[in-house]
Structure 1
Amino acid sequence: MDNYMNLKNSHPCFGGNKINKGRIHLPVSPSCNIACKFCDRKFNETEDRPGVAKAILKEEEAIETIRRALQLCPEISVAGIAGPGDTLASPHALNTFRTLAVEFPDLLKCMSTNGLLLYEMAEEIITVGIDSLTVTVNAVDPVIEANLCSGISYHGRFYEGEEGAAILITNQLKGIRKVASSGITVKVNTVLVPGINDEHIEAIAKAVSEAGASIYNIIPLIPQHALKAAKAPGCAEIERARQQAGKYIDVFRHCQRCRADAVGIPGVKEYAEQIYFGKLTAKETFSHG
């Protein structure tokens, strides 16, 4: 809890609009190991949403990228890796964080993951010294999760439907418990999908809180991919979900749904165009294997 309170005073996301701090997202993770029905990962310069980046950044480019970013935006206090694939599906994120710990020891280190490999890689995450970890948990019931995720690629096999969903949920909750017990602040994201998990938010919030998560972020669905015909939740639905979750856990209320290559102060100053656009060559490297 002490680490969480410290983050509220030093992290642009945890502190919301109360602090004038910035962040840089390093898009070093190319692949993913689960197939979410609402996820449409793309390389472009225009869409302002998670799962999108101009290109993949090589590990060795990360240090120079941060140096350029700090020159443009000295307010940056956080280096995060949020994809555009999953951070644990390849070694690039943790390798990059090891380098950052040496080159930029004062920057907070934040990572996002779907949590499939979280439990078995928890010790490595703890050793690297992540300050905060975000885990996307969209259900704690395999029947509901199977309606949101087609399957998972796990140790050389693709598990579909409820079988894959059960493995994912088990690994997420066990991983959250293990990482949180080390003192790392854990935030949980849930994509709110009306008609699928909107009546399940209270159960998710209760489960992740009991596992040790400190804060809960409800992200409204962006209809796309296999759920392109689904309805995005309205303000009243989002607020109702937040009230339900708030019975069990502190609720995050100012998410900007940032790109995987965001740079700057959220909602105030963005520098991704100067840092990334035109400097990298996009490569279609996404996979679910």
Structure 2
Amino acid sequence: MTKLRDRRSLEQHPCFHGKASAHWGRIHLPVAPNCNIQCNFCNRLYACVNESRPGVTRHILQPAEALAALNRLLQQRKDIVVVGIAGPGDPLCDLDRTLETLRAVHALHPTLLICVSTNGLNLPSHIDELVAAGVTHVTVTVNAVDPHIGQKIYASVTVNHRLYQGLEAAKILLNRQEEAVVGLKQRGLIVKINTVVLPGINTDHIPDIAAKAAMWGADKMNCIPLIPVQGTPLAEHVTPTEAEMAFIRKSISGHMPQIFHCRRCRADAVGLLGEGDMAGAN
């Protein structure tokens, strides 16, 4: 397990702790462009300037460029406590780029917390490498724990260059997500479950996701309303209302502690939650 004695307090992570979000910032380094899953709400067009949502960035950085950007930012401000990789694809689909970046960050800035956000498909076999690279927090996006529902959310998953679809794809993903979360907790990492709320697809299923996440040992859960994206199968779906989201969070709070302050950050987010992206910080 990573030694945390000389690092920032784990409770300073602004995405995991609402009280920290008013004081402490993060930087997402967009070094991972590829993804091993095709979700029915994602169009993979990430070079966006004016959109603020996961999977969006102005530029893809090489690991060395990302480290240079981090070093510049740390000279400009003192509130950055977390370095994260959240895409714009899946960090473990671009494993070499992700690990190179994380190892360099941890070597140069060992007091910073390090965070990775992933769909979990490639996670089980790389947990120890993430721990060795200094990772303290992991977010795993779990949108279904019933493969019959999952097949409505995921068009395909790719494992070892083989494409899987339908029920088989959803079963593979779920099994790997469970193995991943359990393995992360066995190694002492902090785990958050992200769940995209998809009206008419998984809304009634979210209590089951929360119960399963609790059984796996996850620490917190973050329910995120769908952002309909043009050109996707779910482009015409409506986003849940604030009242609907409040009801969902309240109904599952007995299973898992809920996060209420998420800003659905870009893959190149910088600073306090909702503050901006990497280009705006330069």
Residues 225-249 of structure 1, C-alpha deviations (whole Å, 9 max, x = no match): 2100111111121112112221211
Is 1:173 the counterpart of 2:178? The answer is yes
- Describe how 1:90-109 pairs up with structure 2 within 5 A: 90=94, 91-109=96-114
Structure 2 residue identity aligned to 1:234: T
Deviation (angstroms), 1:21: 0.6
Q: Are 1:197 and 2:199 matched, yes or no?
A: no
Match of 2:27 among 24, 27, 33: 24
Question: Quick one: distance in 1 between partners of 2:104 and 2:155?
Answer: 35
Residue number in structure 2 paired with 1:11: 13
Identical counterparts, % of pairs: 42
Shift of 1:122: 1.8
Secondary structure of the structure 1 residue equivalent to 2:158: strand
- Give the C-alpha shift of residue 127 in structure 1: 2.2
Distance 1:44 1:158, change over 3 A: same
Q: Whole-Å Cα distance in 1 between the matches of residues 278 and 92 of structure 2? A: 24
Q: CA deviation at 1:159?
A: 0.3
Question: What residue ranges of structure 2 are gaps of 5+ in the alignment?
Answer: none
Ranges of 4+ aligned residues in structure 1 off by more than 6 Å: none
Question: TM-score when scaled to structure 2?
Answer: 0.92
Q: Structure 1 residues 241, 188: closer, same or farther in 2, change over 3 A?
A: same
Q: Give 3-state SS (helix, strand or coil) of 1:191's partner.
A: strand
- How far does residue 35 in structure 1 lie from its aligned partner after superposition? 0.3
After TM superposition, the structure 1 = structure 2 runs for residues 131-280 of structure 1, keeping only pairs within 5 Å, are 131-224=136-229, 225-267=232-274, 269-270=275-276, 272-275=278-281
CA contact under 8 A between 1:8 and 1:14: conserved in structure 2?
A: no
Q: Distance in 1 between matches of 2:110 and 2:127?
A: 21
How far apart, in 2, do the equivalents of 1:264 and 1:157 lie? 38
Give the distance between the partners of 1:124 and 1:80, measured in 2 at CA.
16
DSSP 3-state at the match of 2:196:
strand
Distance (whole Å) between structure 1 residues aligned to residue 11 and residue 104 of structure 2: 25
Between the aligned partners of 1:118 and 1:10, the Cα distance in structure 2 is 25
Name 1:44's counterpart in structure 2. Answer: 48
Which residue type is aligned with residue 241 of structure 2? Answer: G
Aligned length: 272
State the distance in 2 between where 1:143 and 1:174 align.
19
